[in-house]
Chains A and B, each alone.
Chain A
């Protein structure tokens, strides 16, 4: 039986595009129109940058018995996880940026009941941003307002074509808005990065820096804007002029900023935005890739009053931790909606393995973490096989209905039942 679903929401990235037309044949997604490769990785289980290759779905929970995998029912996998968490004195619940809001709420409850630390997968990127935001108190606008009004757009350490491919088309560069009727021609664009990205194809000013040169560029821009003498960095003066002439500007920054001294750089960028805000509206916007990263920080702010990583075992003040967790202290890890072993360095992975730290992985797809985990629990795809709530990168909450059915449990159900077991 064939069914068509129009204007579905895509859980591929934090853009949460709402113009997806899906054809479902016999409870299987046959075709999805208007999706990018990131959307295809969710709807059609393709590899993100290898469109013809399938991502392997996990079908049954499994636990490690000695050196062998054993397929078990969900209840047995949950029991083993509960044993691991009960024994642990310093457990960490990692990830959650690719999970729906209901799963994030369940994970927060689990962290509370096990006195664990909840570590967002992109903490190194978002924590310095929120601290900078709290320091400078900056202006904010939704993506639709940015599309309609922004005439100056800067991408700093960000490549939207890799992190959220339709962002440039829908909101920031090519889209034609209310006061940006000519789209690309109406906007003045710049990009700052340590290597040449695809943005250079259509951005007029592309500043390529040496690694570690970013704070000097920010300070130089501040000096140029206040009439001081900026350092000799190629493109600095042109960028300063572009920022100064803006009538409505936005600085999108990406994960690139977290690879160096992130706090220093983001404090500098926050100060620069605050300085520019004196003349015209200027927005400092994190270009989040994971589809519900914003939802996690909204949850933390709503429940705990701080967007930093909560540590219910060690942080008695309850202000949250901005520094990434010291993996040498951790003695159990539950990974939800992320691929931990992809982000860790090989030395950290080796040390975790040497200390025989048990890892529990909740994932719809096979990945590096599921390959090393002691307990693997397959979950349904949020927003495709199970209904969920997700927050767009500008903080707009959206309900993602179920499109096809599955025998797999949702991650929120797994986490809730795990909390009940404990």
Chain B
């Protein structure tokens, strides 16, 4: 499964809002297959020829829907970072998140707080996806605004 950052390399990164989302959010929806590369109006412009095909190649065939995933409602999220501090993956892999600080860009994390909202950057690292969907739900459990929905 590609990372959101890899997908973003093939998006315009203009945050023009014509699809109703920022490019980072659009990339997240591409990853969960709720949107397709064709849904970005800017990618149909001649300057971005070949990007849609490259995204299809990167995303691969939509064979298996993720067994478990998460969705973040950015209208509710206040960017407090409780999900970053409570995530079990971060506990073992990110010293800054353990201490309550924000992770650095090079850190191995699942969430990042970007522009005041939580963004999933590497969903493939989530414990729920890998092994124990029923065991970890700390990000949603402690979210004070109930912005994270697990499925």
Contacts and interface: CB of A to CB of B under 8 A. Distances in A.
Interface in B32-51: none
B114 A33 contact: yes
Taking residues whose C-beta sits less than 8 angstroms from the other chain, chain B's interface range is 20 to 34
A163 B127 CA distance: 32
Interface in A230-286: none
B81 A36 contact: yes
Contacts, number: 101
Interface in A105-139: none
Given A32-B115, A37-B116, A169 B98 contact: no
A157 interface: no
Interface stretch (B55-63, B64-72, B101-109): B101-109
B131 interface: no
B100 A147 contact: yes
Nearest to A159: B144
A21 interface: yes
A168 B102 CA distance: 13
Contacts of A31: 114-115
A384 interface: no
A260 to B, nearest CB: 25
Interface in A129-181: 147, 161, 165-166, 168-171, 174-177
Interface string B74-90: 11011111101110000
A46 B15 CA distance: 14
B79 A165 contact: yes
A198 interface: yes
Contacts of A34: 81, 101-103, 112-113
Contacts of B78: 36-37, 49, 161, 165
A21 B103 CA distance: 9
Given A36-B79, A37-B116, A202 B102 contact: no
Q: Which among B86, B96, B112, B114 has the greatest number of chain A C-beta atoms within 10 A?
A: B114
A201 interface: yes
Contacts of A33: 102, 105, 112-114
Contact of B98 (A35, A37, A176): A176
A305 interface: no
Nearest to A176: B98
B145 interface: yes
Nearest to B98: A176
B1 interface: no
Contact of A174 (B82, B102, B112): B82
Interface residues of A, number: 37
A44 B116 contact: yes
Contact of A36 (B96, B103, B113): B113
Interface string B98-134: 1111111100000011111100000000000000000
A46 B85 CA distance: 24
Contacts of A212: none
Contact of B85 (A6, A169, A199): A169
Contacts of A324: none
A165 B80 contact: yes
B105 A19 contact: no
B128 to A, nearest CB: 20
A174 B116 contact: no
- Please indicate which of the listed interface residues A20, A21, A49 has the most CB atoms of chain B within 10 Å of its own CB: A21
Contacts of A202: 142, 144
A17 B102 CA distance: 9
Contacts of A39: 79, 116
B79 A169 contact: no
Given A33-B113, A35-B113, A176-B99, A161 B81 contact: no
A184 B103 CA distance: 19
A398 B144 CA distance: 30
B80 A166 contact: yes
Given A33-B114, A198-B145, 8 more contacts: A19-B102, A33-B105, A34-B112, A147-B100, A169-B81, A170-B100, A175-B99, A184-B142
21 contacts: A20-B102, A21-B105, A32-B116, A33-B105, A33-B112, A33-B114, A34-B112, A36-B78, A37-B79, A44-B115, A46-B116, A49-B78, A51-B116, A51-B117, A165-B79, A169-B80, A170-B101, A171-B100, A176-B98, A176-B99, A201-B144
Interface of B: 74-75, 77-82, 84-86, 96, 98-105, 112-117, 142-145
The 3 A-B residue pairs with the shortest CB-CB distance, nearest first, are A34-B102, A175-B100, A40-B116
